[in-house]
Chain A
Amino acid sequence: MEAASTGTKFQLRARIRGLIDSGATILAVLSTLLVILPLVAIFIYLLLKGASSLNLDFFIRTPKPVGEAGGGMANAIVGSATLLAVASILGVPMGIFGGVYLAEFGRGTKLANAIRFTADVLNGVPSIVMGIAAYSLIVLPQGHFSAFAGGVALGIMMIPTICRTTEEMLLMVPHVVREAALGLGVPNWRSVLSITVKTASPGIITGCMLAFARVAGETAPLLFTALGNNFWSTTLNEPIAALPLQIYVYAISPYDDWHRLAWAGALVLIVLIVLAVSLVRYVTSRGVLKGAS
């Protein structure tokens, strides 16, 4: 009697546990679907709205005044490229060299751990704060907004990202390769640059691409450094247009024609970014070093 009731209780319990298990599975699947949904929606809208507004004018014309149809973002595209160039002159060497320190010289030291930690924390600092810093550092003393200030803001943001990916890529270079170079009596600096960094270069380059992609879409730090410009900029000392800034201005405007241009700009931006991310994924999954080790 007693035994039987224990048995049914046990069966009931097992049944409930099974139900909870299925319930949890369903919830996990559902939340995954729910998360993918906005991503898919964003891409569909970008493709639909962006592709229909994208034409040759977009790439070769500058913005038209309010009320006139047409115009493009040629100056914004060139502006973004300019800003990225300034940013990488600052960010790429500093980031890569910092990564070289972490992987080749500081390995295991307290200083390297502290730098690594600070880099990760710096990565989480809002980009608008970088904008304020570049503003106080350059715009305020100079008295005017400039492409240079925008580039510096973006460059500062690239340093910690590039530094960390470079370190990770260098750590993937087998130790025996470093030993081979040292064993030949090659000076350390030469061995690091010509052997270790060169071996990891596909990974380091894609890491830089990823950093490009990230800052290429940044808007907040440019709002009060590069400021934006409806015309061509000729020097780094004046305000300059940038793709994300232009998208922002057009998106919050009340004009349909501008909204269309904003979507087109967003499509261009996202294609760039998806390409970079896919490239990074391709390179890292294939292994940075084909044939090594």
Chain B
Amino acid sequence: MGVGIEVANLNAWYGSNHTLQDISLNIPANHATALIGPSGCGKSTFVRCLNRMHETNPIARVTGTVRMGGIDIYEDVKPVEIRRRVGMVFQRPNPFPTMSIYDNVAAGLKLNGYTNRKSLDEIVEKSLKNSALWDEVKDDLKKKSGASLSGGQQQRLCIARALAVDPEVLLMDEPASALDPVSTSKIEDLIFQLKTQYTIVIVTHNMQQAARVAEMTGFFLNGRMVEFDSTQKIFTNPSDKRTEDYITGRFG
């Protein structure tokens, strides 16, 4: 079950680069929210702040508050705790190269000490079904390595891996940017189904993609959030001139 995310005055630095400046927005539970903007605008940094991955880089710094289901993730909990509640799918498919398909999906549970085998089998099957990969891999779950799959399959495997820990929020950082059009449309279908159960935040440089899958859209520019509104409003009648310029392809 998803939870909402409440972000207030979020600032992020990367070395001396002020990559995110005063971001405040409320991301609704159990819906898909898209973040768009030209590359380098801070949208990826933003999602990485939502599960405290940004700070894994020693030169990175964050201030401000992010509340997720009532919990201040920077005050009340340690990074590992919040990352267990927030699934993340990265730009490039990154299955664990030495693990089988099964172990890849089960990794988040096994590595956190979950040992119930029977229940693991069920969770792996359910997660692979949810990520629409089950039929393609069910026969060699433990035989094939995760790295032997095609790029699109690998990305769906990564989604299954993120779903297996039953997250409350699913972050996707340009999940389809490294994939072919067929795989991309599969991933989009998937997001469309998953958003009833999870709060999904998806970063994309593809505006059509945002329009297709998301109810809410935020437009980022130069480290600031210019506009955040319903997808329909953003794409048909944006309030800010810069959003309009970007949507109509006048820059970026």
Binding site for B on A (CB under 8 A): 108, 174, 176-177, 179-188, 190-191, 194-195, 198-199, 201, 289-293
Which of B53, B95, B112, B148 is in CB contact (< 8 Å) with A183?
B53
The size class of the interface chain B forms with chain A is 20 to 34
Q: Are B94 and A198 interface neighbours, CB within 8 A?
A: no
Closest to A200 in B: B98
A191 to B165, CA, bound (A): 16
Q: In the complex, what's the smallest C-beta–C-beta distance from A183 to chain B, in angstroms? A: 4
Q: In the complex, what's the smallest C-beta–C-beta distance from A101 to chain B, in angstroms? A: 15
Q: In the complex, what's the smallest C-beta–C-beta distance from A245 to chain B, in angstroms? A: 40
Q: Are A191 and B111 interface neighbours, CB within 8 A?
A: yes
Which of B58, B90, B162 is in CB contact (< 8 Å) with A176?
B90
Question: Which of B62-70, B81-89, B191-199, B225-233 is near enough to bind chain A?
Answer: B81-89
Residues on A with C-beta less than 8 A from B165 are 184-185
Closest to A186 in B: B111
Q: Are A176 and B94 interface neighbours, CB within 8 A?
A: yes
A201 to B107, CA, bound (A): 18
Q: Are B56 and A182 interface neighbours, CB within 8 A?
A: yes
Interface positions, chain B 31-83, Cβ under 8 Å from A, are 51, 53, 56, 58, 79-83
Closest to A180 in B: B94
Q: Are A185 and B83 interface neighbours, CB within 8 A?
A: yes
Interface residues of chain A: helix, strand, loop or mixed (majority): helix
Given A291-B148, A292-B147, A184 and B107 contact (CB-CB distance below 8 Å)? yes
Report 26 cross-chain contacts, Cβ distance below 8 Å, ordered by A residue.
A174-B94, A177-B94, A180-B94, A182-B53, A183-B90, A184-B84, A184-B111, A184-B161, A184-B162, A184-B165, A185-B81, A185-B84, A185-B112, A186-B80, A186-B108, A187-B80, A195-B111, A198-B98, A199-B96, A199-B98, A289-B97, A290-B97, A291-B97, A291-B145, A291-B148, A292-B97
Closest to B58 in A: A108
Q: Would you call B202 an interface residue if the criterion is a C-beta within 8 Å of the partner chain's C-beta atoms? A: no
Residues on B with C-beta less than 8 A from A190 are 111-112
Please give 4 more A-B residue pairs, beta carbons under 8 A apart, in addition to A179-B94, A182-B83, A185-B108. Answer: A180-B90, A184-B87, A190-B111, A292-B147
Residues on B with C-beta less than 8 A from A186 are 80, 107-108, 111-112
Which of B53, B58, B162 is in CB contact (< 8 Å) with A179?
B53
Q: In the complex, what's the smallest C-beta–C-beta distance from B64 to chain A, in angstroms? A: 21
A187 to B81, CA, bound (A): 9
A201 to B79, CA, bound (A): 27
Q: Are B97 and A181 interface neighbours, CB within 8 A?
A: no
A177 to B96, CA, bound (A): 6
Q: Are B56 and A181 interface neighbours, CB within 8 A?
A: no
Residues on B with C-beta less than 8 A from A188 are 80
Residues on B with C-beta less than 8 A from A195 are 96, 111
Residues on B with C-beta less than 8 A from A182 are 53, 56, 79, 83
Residues on B with C-beta less than 8 A from A183 are 51, 53, 83, 87-88, 90, 162
Given A179-B56, A185-B165, A199 and B90 contact (CB-CB distance below 8 Å)? no
